Structure 1
Amino acid sequence: MFNLINTNQSNVKNDVLSGITVALALVPEAVAFAFVAGVEPMIGLYAAFMMGLLTSIFGGRPGMISGATGATAVVMVALVAVHGVQYLFAAVVLAGLLQIMAGVFKLGKFIRMVPHPVMLGFVNGLAIVIFLAQLGQFKILDSVGEWTWLQGEGMYLMLGLVALTMAIVHFLPKLTTAVPSGLVAIVVVTGIVIGLDLDTRNVIDFVRDMLPPEEAANASLNGELPSFSIPMVPFTLETLIIIFPTALVIAAIGLIESLLTLTLIDEITGTRGKSNRECIGQGIANTTNGFFGGMGGCAMIGQSMININSGGRGRLSGITAALVLLGFILFAAGLIEMIPLAALVGIMFMVVLGTFEWSSLRIIRKIPVTDAFIIILVSGITVVYDLAIAVVIGVIVSALVFAWKHAKHIQAKTYLNEDGHKVYEIQGPVFFASVANFKELFDIENDPEEVIVEFQRSRVSDHSGIEAIDGLAEKYKQVGKKLHLRHLSPECVSLLKQAGDACEVNILEDPEYHVASDKLG
C-alpha cells in the first residue's frame, strides 16, 4: 500500500544527510524519555548522543539508530525516585556489562528463533505505539495545568502542517532522491512557520511544558560535553542488590528491542546484521553512558526507520546523527528549539505508515488461526503493556502451539516379526507434549511375551520422554513381559531406570543425539 522505503545502497552523501534528519528527530524523543525516567533533559540528550555514536561504531547493524528509549525509561522510574540518579548510572553500567556478556557468550543468535507471527505482531504493535505517542503533541497545557486537546485554529494549523510534512516526505522522492525528503520537510515547514509567524508549538515549547513553572522560563537545550565520573554510590553488596534487578531488566529489554529491530532492518534491506556483535555494541554504549552521565537506552525503531527511509545504510549515518546531535547541544540549540512539533509529528506518522505490516491485514484470514491469534496478541500486549513482555509471551505461545501440533504426529506401525515378537515402529518425536499419545499406542494386555519398540524413526527429546519409556517398561515388567528398546541414543539408555535388561544397544547403529535433562548436569 505504501512504498516508503528507500532501498539504495550505502553512500557517503545519503548517510550524512540521513544522519542530519535523524538528529533532528532525536531531540524531542530524548527529552521526552528523560522526563519519563524522571531525570533532567540533558541526561536524555547525552544518552542519545553516546548510544548513537558507540553502537554505530561497535554494533552489528549498520544503519540502525540507538538512543534513549521509552522501553528502558519506564524501568528506571522507580529506581530514580527512590534512590536517585547516581544509582541509575550504576545500574546502566551493570546493564551494559550484562549485555557485553550476552554477546561474548553468543546469546544473540537466539533472536533468530522468534517466529514470524511474533515479528509481525511486534512491528504492528510498535507502529501503533509510535502513532499513539504522537497524539500527545495535539494537546496543550491549560490555565490550571491540565492537558487538553487543541481547539479551532490551533488544531487546524497543526493538522495542516502535519499533512504538509507528510506530503513532502511521500511525494518528493518521486521527483528527486538527491536529499532526504524528511530533512527537506523539516526545513520547509520550519521556514513557513517562522516566515509567516504562525502560532504553533515548537521543540522548546515541548521542553518547557515538561518542566515545573519556576524552571520553564529559563529552559534551554544548550549543554556541554559529558564528563567522566564514577557513579557516586557505595560499592557494597547492598548497592548491588538494589541495582541488579533494574540492570537486568534494562539489559534484557534493550537487547530484545535492539535485536528485533536488527532483524526487521535485515528483512527490509536484504542484508544480515551480526546479532552477537550488536549485543556487545549495546553493552559498550550503555556502560559508557553510566560513566558519562547518560540514561542509557537501546535501538530505536522509529529513528532507524527514518534513517533507512532517508537512504542511510552505513555506519556513517548513525555516527553523523550522533555528532550532529552533539553539535546542536553545544552550538546550535536555538535552531533545534525553533523546529515545529508538527514537522516531527508528520515525520513520525510516515514512519508509522512504513512500519506497519499492511499485508498482515490482507492475509489474516488465509493463515492458520493460531498464527493470526499470535499476531493480534503480540500487537495488543505491545500497545497496552510492554514490547519485551509481548515478545516473550508471543514466543511462549508459539512454542506451545508448536508442541501441541507435533504432539499429535506421533504414531506407531505394528507387526509380528519372524520370531513372533510384536514390533512397534515409532514415528514422531517423544517429548513432554506427546507422551500421553505415546502411551496410548501400546496394547500391553494383549501383546505377546516379547515386545520390541523401534525408535529408528523417532527421537526422544527431553526427560519427559525418558520417563514415559521407563513407565512403559515397568508396566510390561509387571505383567511378566519383556520389552526391547532399539535405536535409542546411549544418552537415553543411561537415563533409563526401570528398563534394565530390556535395553539393547547397538554400537554401530544407535544414533548420537542429546536429551534435554537436568540429570545430565
Structure 2
Amino acid sequence: MEATNIINEIISGFTIALVLIPESIAFSLLLGFPPSVGLISTAIMSSITSLFGGCPTLISGATGAIATSLLGVKALYGTQYVFLTAIIGGFIQLLFGISGLYKYFSNISQPLMTGFLIALGVLIAKSQIKNFKYPNTENWFKDSDNYKLTGTLLFSLISLFIAVFGKFMYNLSYKTKSIKINIPGALSAIVLLSILYYIIPIKETIEIVGDRGGAKITNLAFNVPNVELTSANILKVLPFAVAMAITGLTESIFMVDDTSKQLKIISSPLIETLAQGVGNIISGLCGGFGGCVFVGLSKYNVENGSKTRLSSRATSLFFIALTLMFSSTINKIPMPAIIGIMIMIAFKTGTAKYDYLIKNFKSEWLIILLTASLGIYSESLALAIIVGFIVQQAIKYIKSI
C-alpha cells in the first residue's frame, strides 16, 4: 500500500471510531442498558469481523437494527434473556452459513431491500430524537433552560453541514513525495464543534458525550447469562433470536454484495455470515447484545477512500483504545457534533438504493412502501422483510393466474 492510502485508511478508522462511541451508547440506552453494554457489543463485533469477516472495509457493532430487534425480549423477560438471545441468534447465523441458507439473503429482491433500507434509515434518525430530551426522561429540552433546545438544534445543523461539505484534501510534502491526506467531513465536524464548544460560553446549553452515560468500557468479562437453559426458556427467546439473525444478515450481506461491486473485489458472504455468528455468540457471553454491519458507516468508510482491512481494523483498535484509555477526553465531545453526523449516516442508509427507487417506484411502489412503513411502525425490520416477501410472492402468484 502507498503511504497516502495507509494514512487515509487510518484517519477514516479513527473518525468512525469516534462516531461509534456515542452511537453504541445511544443504542444501549435505547434497550435500557448502561452505556458499557453497547460499548462491549461494538468492541467485540468490530474486532472479530475486522479480523475474520468476508469483506475488508465493513464496520460492525451495536446497530439500531439489532437493538430494535431485542426491545421485546428486554421488556418481557429482562436483561439476562437479551444476552441469551444474542447467543442463540449467533448460533442461528452459523446454521444459516453452514446450511447454505445465507445465499438467500443475497437474493432478497430490490424492492424489499429498498424498503428495508428506508426503514433502517428512518429508525437511525428517529434514535437521535432522544438527544433532544433530558436523560432518562421523556421531557424535551426547553429554551427557558439556557436555550437548550435551540442551541442543540443549531449546533446539530452546523455539524450536519460540516459533515456533508467539510471533507477536504491536505497535501503533505515529504522529501520528494507529496502525500494527499483525506480529511473526512465527520472528523472536521467533531473537531470544529469541539473547538466552538470550548471557546464560546455555551457549556450550559450544549450536552457532551459524558452527559449521556460516559464512554468507558466496564465489566468486560466472560459471563454465561444467568438463565436456566431449559427448552421453555429457549423457546421464549427463539422468535427474537430468529428476528435478530435475519435482520443482522440482511443488513450485513447486503453490504458485502454492495461493497464488492463498488470496489470491484471478490468478497465472501459465507465468511461474513460465520464471522457475524461468532461475534454475536462471544458478545452475548461477555455481557453484550451483539450487532451487525453498519450500512451508513461502512459506505462512509468507502467514501473516505478505504479499500482494505486496515480501515476496519483501525476502527476496532481506536474504538477499544478510546473507550479504555481516553474516555475522559471523548466524554468532552459535544453531543450535537455526533447528532449531525448520525443524521448524515441515516440519510446515506435510507438512500442507499436511491437510483433503484427513482427508476422503479411506479412499478414496485406497493412492496417498497409496505416494507418501509411496516419496518418503521413496528420497529421490527425482520417482520417487514418477511411480510413484504409474502405479499410480493402473493402478487406474483395472482399475476400468473
TM-score (structure 1 length as normaliser)? 0.67
Identity score, percent? 29
Q: 1:92 aligns with which of 78, 82, 86?
A: 86
Task: Give the conservation status (yes or no) of the 8 Å contact 1:98–1:251.
Answer: yes
The answer to which structure has the higher helix fraction is 2
Stretch moving more, 66-75 or 237-246 = 237-246
Partner of 2:269: 275
Partner of 2:176: none
Could you tell me how far 1:283 is from its partner in structure 2? 0.5
Q: Letter of the aligned partner of 2:160 in structure 1?
A: M
Partner of 1:373: 366
Distance 1:112 1:245, change over 3 A: closer
Q: Distance in 2 between matches of 1:367 and 1:252?
A: 25
TM-score (structure 2 length as normaliser)? 0.85
Q: 1:123 aligns with which of 99, 108, 117?
A: 117
Task: Give the conservation status (yes or no) of the 8 Å contact 1:125–1:380.
Answer: yes
Q: Distance in 2 between matches of 1:21 and 1:41?
A: 20
Within 5 Å, which residues of 2 pair with 1:40-79? Answer: 40-79=34-73
5+ residue gaps, structure 2:
171-180
Give the secondary structure class of the aligned counterpart of 1:140.
Answer: coil
Q: Letter of the aligned partner of 1:194 in structure 2?
A: Y
Partner of 2:174: none
Q: 1:148 aligns with which of 140, 163, 169?
A: 140
Could you tell me how far 1:258 is from its partner in structure 2? 2.0
Q: Letter of the aligned partner of 1:171 in structure 2?
A: F
Q: Distance in 2 between matches of 1:272 and 1:126?
A: 26
5+ residue gaps, structure 1:
1-9, 208-219, 408-433, 435-521
Task: Give the conservation status (yes or no) of the 8 Å contact 2:207–2:334.
Answer: yes
Could you tell me how far 1:334 is from its partner in structure 2? 1.0
Could you tell me how far 1:325 is from its partner in structure 2? 1.6
Q: 2:211 aligns with which of 205, 215, 228?
A: 205
Q: 1:106 aligns with which of 54, 77, 100?
A: 100
Could you tell me how far 1:241 is from its partner in structure 2? 3.3
Could you tell me how far 1:178 is from its partner in structure 2? 2.4
Distance 1:92 1:358, change over 3 A: closer
Task: Give the conservation status (yes or no) of the 8 Å contact 1:130–1:302.
Answer: no
Distance 1:35 1:279, change over 3 A: same
Q: Letter of the aligned partner of 2:60 in structure 1?
A: S
Within 5 Å, which residues of 2 pair with 1:63-462? Answer: 63-81=57-75, 83-140=77-134, 145-151=137-143, 153-173=147-167, 175-176=169-170, 178-199=182-203, 200-207=206-213, 220-224=214-218, 226-357=220-351, 360=354, 367=360, 369-385=362-378, 386-405=380-399, 407=400, 434=401
Q: Distance in 2 between matches of 1:352 and 1:239?
A: 35
Q: Distance in 2 between matches of 1:389 and 1:284?
A: 24
Q: Letter of the aligned partner of 1:178 in structure 2?
A: N
Deviations 1:4-57 (A, max 9, x none): xxxxxx933222211111111112221222223233321111001001111122
Q: Distance in 1 between matches of 2:295 and 2:284?
A: 23
Q: Letter of the aligned partner of 1:372 in structure 2?
A: W
Partner of 1:478: none
Distance 1:305 1:37, change over 3 A: same
Query: How large is the RMSD of aligned CA atoms in angstroms?
Result: 3.0
Q: Letter of the aligned partner of 1:203 in structure 2?
A: V
Distance 1:105 1:332, change over 3 A: same
Give the secondary structure class of the aligned counterpart of 1:323.
Answer: helix
Task: Give the conservation status (yes or no) of the 8 Å contact 1:47–1:289.
Answer: yes
Task: Give the conservation status (yes or no) of the 8 Å contact 2:124–2:346.
Answer: yes
Q: Distance in 2 between matches of 1:305 and 1:151?
A: 36
